[in-house]
């Protein structure tokens, strides 16, 4: 299935983890993919290499999404090279995990700059470009925001990350309402606990496997679980869907609600 032939997709934070899974899924279905990351150059190069193995062009664009000028330059460069931006997946995020009583302002601000303000920069500029584009073929563009179930379930030691994710969900609803008349779809995916390289900073392999068994579905999610949901929302199959929050969490939130 190649739902994204002749479409250009930007995925932020795509060097590894969820972003990488999304970039490869879109490439496998025919998209030209722009792999964005602010660091992880070797990992980004590997993502680009694998994306091109599907027969489409893929490039790496290094930019920090918290830098508004850098985001503007990225869009200008993509449009100059490819002519349009049809799909934007705002995935880049960071989290400085600290208890609220001792959280440093530096940690809070660095988390918000990427996870909230960076998402705003990426999505606003996506919309500004998309309103200028003709439908391709039925939508002027698809914006998919990667949020988290932590917008709903407040994980400890993550106050800045939790409030950033809740904020971008509401931002997405606002954008969807304002852009529906332009036929620009704006939707949100809320991953649960996903098996990514970043989790290794906090857990051992054994701890991840054991914790995964405790989840309702019996395992951690994978980047491809998220990528499949994103691909649906980015496709013409979801033409009539905008302003939704789609949980991809193996039943974590609903299981908690029945216990609570």
Exactly one of 84, 165, 235, 252 is catalytic; name it. Answer: 165
Say whether 148 is catalytic: yes
158: annotated active-site residue = no
Would the pLDDT of 1 be above 80? no
- Per-residue pLDDT tens over the stretch 142-189: 999 999 999 999 899 999 999 999 999 999 999 999 999 999 999 999
Instruction: Return the pLDDT at 211.
Output: 85
Range with lowest mean pLDDT among 18-22, 37-41, 119-123: 37-41
Q: Which of 75-79, 148-152, 154-158, 222-226 has the lowest mean pLDDT?
A: 154-158
What is the CATH code for 8-259? 3.40.50.720
Q: Is 260 exposed, middle or buried (0-12, 13-18, 19+ CB in 10 A)?
A: exposed
pTM of the model: 0.96
**Residue 257: its pLDDT value, please?**
73
Q: Is 203 a catalytic residue?
A: no
- Check 148, 158, 235, 252 and give the catalytic one: 148
Q: Is the pLDDT of residue 259 over 70?
A: no
Going from N- to C-terminal start, the domains of the chain cover: 8-259
| Residues whose CB is less than 8 angstroms from the CB of residue 43 and which lie 6 or more positions away in sequence, other chains included | 15, 16, 20, 37
């Amino acid at each position: 299935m190649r739902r994204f032939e002749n479409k250009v997709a930007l995925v932020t934070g795509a060097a590894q983890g969820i972003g990488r899974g999304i970039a490869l899924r879109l490439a496998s279905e025919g998209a030209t993919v722009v792999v964005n990351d602010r660091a992880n150059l070797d990992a980004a190069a590997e993502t680009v290499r694998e994306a091109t193995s599907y027969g489409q062009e893929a490039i790496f664009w290094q930019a920090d999404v918290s830098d508004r000028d850098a985001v503007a330059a990225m869009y200008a460069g993509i449009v100059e090279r490819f002519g349009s931006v049809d799909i934007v997946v705002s995935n880049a995020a960071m989290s400085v995990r600290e208890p609220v009583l001792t959280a440093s302002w530096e940690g809070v601000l660095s988390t918000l700059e990427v996870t909230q303000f960076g998402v705003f920069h990426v999505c606003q500029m996506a919309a500004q470009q998309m309103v200028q584009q003709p439908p391709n073929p039925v939508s002027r563009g698809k914006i998919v925001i990667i949020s988290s179930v932590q917008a709903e379930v407040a994980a400890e030691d993550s106050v800045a990350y939790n409030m950033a994710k809740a904020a971008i969900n509401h931002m997405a609803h606002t954008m969807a309402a304002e852009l529906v008349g332009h036929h620009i779809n704006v939707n949100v995916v809320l991953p649960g606990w996903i098996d990514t390289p970043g989790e290794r900073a906090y857990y051992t392999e054994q701890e991840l496997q054991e914790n995964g068994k405790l989840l309702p579905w019996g395992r951690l999610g994978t980047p491809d679980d998220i990528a499949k949901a994103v691909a649906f929302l980015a496709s013409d199959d979801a033409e009539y869907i905008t302003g939704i929050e789609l949980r991809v969490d193996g039943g974590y939130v609903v299981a908690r609600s029945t216990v609570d």
